[in-house]
Structure 1
Amino acid sequence: MEIGKDFFDAVRSRTVSPVYGNVFLFSFLVNWKPLVYVAFSDTALTNRFKYFDAQTSWWSLIGLPVLLAILYAVGSPFVLYSFRWVTGRIEDEIVTQKDKRWEHTEISRHLAVGRVEAEKAERLRVREDAVISSAKADAAIEALPGDQKAAAKENLAKERLFIAAPDRDWDKFAEEIGTLAREFVIAASNSGGRTLQVHNTLDATFISSGDYQNRMGPGDAPSVHMRINRLIKEGLFRELTGEVFQLTDLGLNFARYIRERYPSAAGARTRFDDP
């Protein structure tokens, strides 16, 4: 029993060996036609063997398969290495392209940030220059004689307003909105928070902003809100709450203009009968 088991183990180990397996595989590939003929032909078995002997030789059955197996054993590591080298180069190229795209994205982002910062710095410089120019203009006006000072202040305020919104006829607009709306603008410009409060009750409508106080009748509420809505539409006020409105930067420039053009537009009021 032990001898038989050892024999079959030896045969099995050799048949499953990669070397022998490759020899058997190449032998079948080289001689597949005669092998198929012997296995599946309907002719007599002796004729099939004769055909097999005629179509095969020692070289085709053993020599060439062994040679091919050796070449396969020697060449397969090189083929595998070449395949891994090519795939590695492809992976490296993919990684390199990803790195380049990331680097390009980062450079673009930094350039964009730099442009934004440069634009901010330029806007700040322009605003600073404008503030300095405005201060110089105000100082120059203060040095003028009294009869020229008022006209110069009005012209300067108008010029600032036209620079902020050059597409509007501010002279016409200032006349159209009426005295009450002009009071609202100047009153808000005089308060610390540039706000105007409108409070409606059953008995009256109260408008206040800093020292400015105006008590109107309950029937005047639509007229008051109509004027405030017009100022909001023109960009001079923004609504903070239902009763509180804040003067915008454009509204502040407009207030400077009408303060010079209508010196009596602002003041404390207890009643305004003709809005």
Structure 2
Amino acid sequence: MKDLFDAITTRIQAPYFGYSLLAFVVLNWRALFLLIMLDATAHERISIFEQETSVWSVVVLPLLVGAILAIFTPWSRYIFEYLSQKPFALRDRIHLHADHQRTIQQTKLEQARSELFGQKEQELIERAKRDEEIAGIDDEDVKARLTNELATLRAERDKLASQMNSMGATLNADVLSGEAVKIIEAAAATKSGTILTSKSLSGRSIKAGNSVFGDKDAKSYALYESALEDLETMGYVKPQGPKREIFGLTHKGWRFAENR
């Protein structure tokens, strides 16, 4: 019995029979309503159902409509996919371009970091060489004087480097794109420093503070989406949840906005 019921269910769920069943309900909804809701004997309800229906509405038309819909549905899907192929391709091209630009930016940052680390390594090597040269001096007074002077110079140099690092947000203004700067400034205009990304059927946008960016078209959104990703990569913002729909300014982001 179960196998028979499963076979019937599977057959009804097939597109053709499903469309036919739907057409049957639409064409005979009044008769079905009276059959179910009418307070009468079974014989009277069946009699009313027969009066409200015909062979055409019960059998012929539902089967015909089901056949037409079953044939037309694949073609309608084909037409839709054909018409949407071009805009989808343009959208993918915009995303690829944004990813390409982000990759170039990340590569430049990595190269800059590598050069900076290389300079620091070379400086440590030079310091070790100077320490060895001073250690080779026989005169203890001269050695002590040079050691103190070198320590003073190194302390001043480290202090200057620390000051330069504290100004990093201002110096990095040239690295950030104009779109990224707009997002930071708009987010910092409110106390929460929140950035919201909205994606729906009506469109996509990025809201920072009281400003909305990227809501004009797909190209505009991709541009500001790439800017937001750059801000996250550089540590100016960070996501507030696993869905990555809400971002917040980091200490670095607030400091950058304050120095603008």
TM-score by structure 1 length? Answer: 0.34
**Superposition TM-score, scaled by structure 2 size:** 0.36
Q: Which has the larger radius of gyration?
A: 1
